[in-house]
Amino acid sequence: MAGFTHSFDPTTLREYDIRGIVGKSLSADDAFAIGRVFGTIVSRAGGSRVAVGRDGRLSSPELEPRLVEGLMASGMEVLRVGTGPTPLLYYAAYALEADGAIMVTGSHNPPDYNGFKSMLGRKPFFGKDIQELGRMAAAGDVVPEAKGSERSVDLAADYVARMMKDYDGGDRALTVVWDPGNGSGAEIVNRLVQEIPGRHTVINGTIDGTFPAHHPDPTVAKNLEQIIAEVARVGADLGIALDGDADRIGVVDNEGNILFGDQLLVVLARDVLRHRPGETIIADVKASQVLFDEVAKAGGKPLMWKTGHSLIKAKMAETGAPLAGEMSGHIFFADKWYGFDDALYSAVRLLGIVARMDGSLSETRAAMPQVINTPELRFDCDEGRKFSVVEEVRQRLAAEGADVSAVDGVRVNSPDGWWLLRASNTQAVLVARCEASSEDGLERLKAQLVRQLEASGLAAPDFSGNNAGH
């Protein structure tokens, strides 16, 4: 295409992916341009093969073919994996030895959103990479037009078989409820339950981009009400919920209690550390202190790192950590697996652990040290101001001699517990969280946070009784 140039809506070029509202900030022409430039980047790196997948959103069948056209115009051999979860596309990148991979997905966003998650080689493509893609498109900085090729590859059976190789729960028949949330993981779930011993109930088990039952985001308690009711109805050992593209997991125990991301990571880490003692386990800065303490108690090296699935993946590769996780439900296994975030594989490993437990998952959860914390509090802050507010707070705390970790924002330790303030990488918001061993302690931590925000001219977030035992 002589004279190719393209300008993206700047709001779509985000930290971890390209994402927007279809028909408003994101179009099929954007999909072509992403393919044209990404294919150029792969070509200049010496590659020629890109795997492509898509989720079940109503706009994905429109965007994916144009993405493929753009890749082919840059001379790529395109391997079309079809409709499925993001982890299937990541798996395809390894299994098919692709030089890059792009997933058309809106993840857990509302139905009118869509977007693109990418890998270059075996590494996440994010941050400056995405900004550079935008610059190259605007400048027409692409390889000469070429004639690539495309073919369809069905890896669903291989993916399920590979996951089942690592199922270690024996023949114990668990009762499990699954809720893929009408997202793109639904068909893989329906295949998996044929293979895993036990009695399985799948709700919202068809791919439907209108998400008729509930929003496909298992970190929001309201979206788990249906699976909690079903766990109670069938007397299940646990329930497993997925987000819209199945790279994030939500877990409910046999009593209907939600296991938060850090609590789930405690269960998984103890198991991994049994055969990999002394190794590093990574969690994001929002995770409970209980997690870091329990990893150390189980003989591991806890490492607190920045929030963001691409940042965690990069840190895992650097440290050789076998396991990592985020509060948001991204779980990354490099133990026997490939190091990418995969809710389906995490579910397989969790079921193996529960099948080998002497007691129930609720007993394991109840035995963890109990703390009281706020949920993740998000409040608006101007894009140009959010990072400077955090820096102002950090400097004041340093002057006061406070015990502060500055890995990602500020995480302040005190005898009562800890509080966190960080700038979101993807939105014009600040994120806060507090955790204490008592209600009085939590109130003192909240007051410290409010004092620092007010010193930077910001109103406090709405705490409104949102404390939870955890």
Q: Is the dihedral of CA 349, 351, 357, 360 positive or negative?
A: positive
Residue ranges with strand state E in 297-436: 301-305, 323-325, 331-333, 372-373, 377-380, 403-405, 410-414, 417-423, 429-436
Residue written as token pair 């929030």: 307
Cβ atoms < 10 Å from Cβ of 451 = 12
Residue 46, exposed/middle/buried by CB under 10 A (0-12, 13-18, 19+)? exposed
Report, as residue numbers or ranges, the catalytic residues.
Answer: 107
Angular region, 339: left φ>0, alpha ψ -120 to 50, beta rest: left
Angle, helices 343-356 vs 186-195, to 10°: value is: 30
The full DSSP string for 201-270 is: EESS-S--TT-SSS-S-TTSGGGGHHHHHHHHHHT-SEEEEE-TTSSSEEEEETTS-EE-HHHHHHHHHH
